[in-house]
Structure 1
Amino acid sequence: MIMQALRTKTRAIMLVVVVVFVVSIFAMYITRGSGPSSRPGAEGDLPVATVDGEKVMASHIDMGVRNYAQQSGQSDLSPEWIVQTRKQVLNSIAMQHMLQKEAARQKITPPREEIDAAVKRIENQFPTKEAFQQYMENSGIKMKDLQEQISMQLSQRMVLDANAGDVDVTEDEALEFYEQTRELFFRQPAGYHVMFARFATLEKAEEARKAVEGGKKWDEVMQDYEGVALDFTLSGEPAFVTEKEFTEGTLKEIAGTAIGKVSKAVALDENNVVIVVKQEKIDEKIASYEEASGDIKGMIAQQKRQANQNEYLKGLLTRANIQVLVPEFFEVPAQPEAEGEPVPAEGQEEPEGE
């Protein structure tokens, strides 16, 4: 939903770098005799599987499990969940290893400007550049290492895109999809077309708001704050926000802002401050097929590309030749017998209650 852009939460802002740096380097968990994976793990660490002939350590699997639990807010850390997640982490290690291997084989490398842009997006999640640099230093993450991991992530995505295949969407497919889903996907409630901009600090949001209020055109102000604003829309590309969001939701503080006027700055969350300009009121309606056909064909094409990519990933997973060395590491431990309840000997019936 478009409103998600307005309501993006930055609760985990200080984990952004870790998400990129740790989650995207599963391929580095494969022991190669150099790099992070070759360092001795915790006491009792041992290889629990191999991927493409390379060892994967128990500590590396559990690091991925802990990291996923932390990022997803998972509270159910039952033995069943841990074992299932270990299996998923192992598959992720295998897939990312094979994707990186394919990127090297096909000589796929992302443009430097894309790497720099990704670093900039991460930096913009922090209140200041200094705060970002301080966090990097405190976390022991070097800029060169972060750039290398982003490069790996982008190259893996490029491999997937290159193997999505050519897809076609017929008019019949699009029309059938519309008929089946128009009430679900294409009913638009009453609301507004808006321009918005999000900032990490109230100070920057106020600066931009005053510039617009002072008569400067919205698009010009956004151009001035490009690289400072977390994200924004331009006048020709407004977002849609439901009327309910203004009357009952996070934007109710600015519900009374007149159309064409810039709102006061509203803090949606810590380090997440928004200013809004309502462009026009939109009545409730169901979009016609003519209006929706472009989006529909794009959705179907994306589904087909994802299906092709999934088949490609299955093939890579097969070629990864995952071998489990310690089966019990990926199995739920047997529950111990309860004390005070002796197990009857073979052939002996349990005593009946008196």
Structure 2
Amino acid sequence: MAAAGKTTAGKITVLGAGSWGTAFAKVLADAGQPVTLWARRRDVADAVTRDRENGDYLPGIRLPDNLAATSDPRVALDGADTVVLAVPSQSLRHNLTAWRSLLAPDATLVSLAKGIERGTLRRMSEVIVEVTGVPDDRIAVVSGPNLAREIAEEQPTATVIACRDHDRAVAVQRACTTGYFRPYTITDVIGCEIGGACKNVIALSCGMADGLGFGANTLGTLITRGLAETSRLGAALGADPMTFAGLAGLGDLVATCSSPLSRNRTFGARLGSGESMAQAQAAVHGQVAEGVKSCSAIRELAQRHGVEMPITEVVHRVCHDGFHPREMAGELIGRKTKPER
């Protein structure tokens, strides 16, 4: 049964000082919340404290004075009522295992990670439940058009807070509502997580198409058919189909597939233009293109549930089987014709 009365976020800690973790910490601070940001590297935490800037991930963005930083997880988590998990999806389990004994008994855990864990095929909320043992109604998921740089620059955007406990979702919503950041609430955690994971894979395909010199028709086709295969997987897992027509589905997909700020799109474009995987990784400056790692897990999850995901299949082949991006178009266009729905 959902917990009742969780209507305030209390003390908030953000674990992970990459671009999105730092941007979301800024949102929370701008909304009037005192926030602690944990950075894995002490020099990043010191720079935030000293210079009010995370120069490695969001250079030129001044961070609010009510945003503290530390590299000590014990200090960061001491008394934290809301814990935002902002580490990459494939490292969440490892990090959370180290942090679980430091979590408050009734803390709300908020996941910013967008991916499917390799090997286990778990969604991020499932990883959190498995590692911490907390009930799933204590876990909220943030998803939507979340390009970190634009949000840090206070460009208007909206997002979704998903949690089975609506009161907790509302508490997180209130904690991160600002004049430029508008959160909505839903209870469909599965749909939010599947949309957030799959859009990274579709963005890789859109980047590859751009790198190959293809135009708007190809991009529109990949986005639309990518949404279709994402929705099929979500439905097979029990998601609400309407979620994929909203911010966590179409909204996030369009932003990630269209913007040069998207690491996944940038990575795909480099591959499409003929660069190697190593060269493409260098182009995103050591940051994680989640779709490269998640595409294989999503493909396997789809196969397990008998769901056809042709775009995900070719992205996996390019990233892991030596398939060349120029073969992608022929593979997809050459498939057997059939009705759209």
Q: What is the TM-score with the length of structure 2 in the denominator? A: 0.26
The TM-score normalised by the length of structure 1 is 0.25
Flag the structure with larger Rg.
Answer: 1
Q: Which has the higher contact order (CA 8 A, sep 6+)?
A: 1
